[in-house]
Structure 1
Amino acid sequence: MTVTEQDLTHLRRCVDLAREALADGDEPFGSRLVAADGTVLFEDRNRVKDGDPTQHPEFAISRWAAAHLPPEERATATVYTSGEHCPMCSASHGWVGLGRIVYATSTRQLSAWLQEWDVPAAPVAALPIGDIVPGAVTDGPVDELAQEVRALYHACFAQRRQSSS
């Protein structure tokens, strides 16, 4: 599939959620779940700053979908996210049986940027969604949003570096 104007609208909201997370002192990630008919079902942003590293918005979407949607609706829903799922979120997506994933920036992009900024490696391998959920339908990254998301990541890690100095 290709990324449509409707997809871009949802991705822009995810970037806004990522910006909200950063403004609240969190890592800049935002995601939303959209039904096949275009209805926004759920959205969230990163909430890891208080010490629980599992509080990713993609994982929250999986939990919400498992509790509120039958399997058929999960399979036809689309997850939009500012950054490609980490392995934990990818696994939750696969286990819950969610549909297509559209992301603004990829794991490969984020990994390269973090390396460029000398950010220490995460405790979990940075793997693309397809390595975790081989049948996942994905679209991304979206070039027109990459620099905006990169700037959010850069601001986050620059803030961390200043606070640790």
Structure 2
Amino acid sequence: MTDFHEPTPDERRHLRRCVDLAREALDDGDEPFGSLIVDGAGQVRFEDRNRVKHGDETRHPEFEIARWSASNLTAEERAESTVYTSCEHCPMCSAAHAWMGLGRIVYAVSSAQLTQWRESWGAAPSPVAPLPITAIAPDQVASGPVAEFAAELRDMHARSFGV
């Protein structure tokens, strides 16, 4: 279920960190994606960026958060958490998120935006259908996109595609 609202200052700060993580990934030769998880008390517990450049296409930061949460958070802590991410989860990450019972997701740009950008650059389509989070996890609460990050992320993704 979509729960869009104007982001709070804390939500903007967390999304800014995700965008910075995406830039770190890009600067390291990886795809520009970054994510973090915040517990119910508002503390960042784990963050990561994309790490697929060496051939393991499952090394998405959202998937790493799901894996990390299995060993480091109780079921209750997972449910009370919020995951922030530079781009809406792909189907693999949406499923991992739902299986782990993680809480709300807040994303800066949508998979629809990213798909539209890729098409405009003549890039090959993603090997996975660009479905919204709630198409994979219907009961998941997700918020986004947040317009203020779109241009910056578009530029990063364009750079990653050599545009």
* Superposed CA offset, 1:15-73 (max 9, x none): 00000000000000000000011111000000000000000000000000011111000
Correspondence for 2:139 = 135
Which 5+ residue runs of structure 1 have no aligned equivalent? 160-165
Correspondence for 1:60 = 64
Q: 2:157 aligns with which of 127, 136, 153?
A: 153
State the alpha-carbon separation in 1 of the partners of residues 8 and 40 from structure 2. 14
Correspondence for 2:84 = 80
State the alpha-carbon separation in 1 of the partners of residues 59 and 90 from structure 2. 12
Instruction: Please give the TM-score of this superposition, normalised by the length of structure 1.
Output: 0.95
Shift of 1:76: 0.6
State the alpha-carbon separation in 2 of the partners of residues 132 and 44 from structure 1. 22
| 1:2-81 pair list within 5 angstroms | 2=5, 3-81=7-85
State the alpha-carbon separation in 1 of the partners of residues 98 and 14 from structure 2. 21
What RMSD in Å do the two structures reach over aligned CA positions?
0.8
State the alpha-carbon separation in 2 of the partners of residues 136 and 59 from structure 1. 16
SS of 2:84 mapped into structure 1: strand
Higher relative contact order (CA closer than 8 Å, sequence separation 6+): 2
State the alpha-carbon separation in 1 of the partners of residues 12 and 110 from structure 2. 15
Q: 2:127 aligns with which of 123, 130, 153?
A: 123
Q: Which amino acid aligns with 1:51?
A: G
SS of 1:158 mapped into structure 2: coil
SS of 2:139 mapped into structure 1: coil
Correspondence for 1:93 = 97
Q: Which amino acid aligns with 1:96?
A: M
How many pairs are equivalent? 159
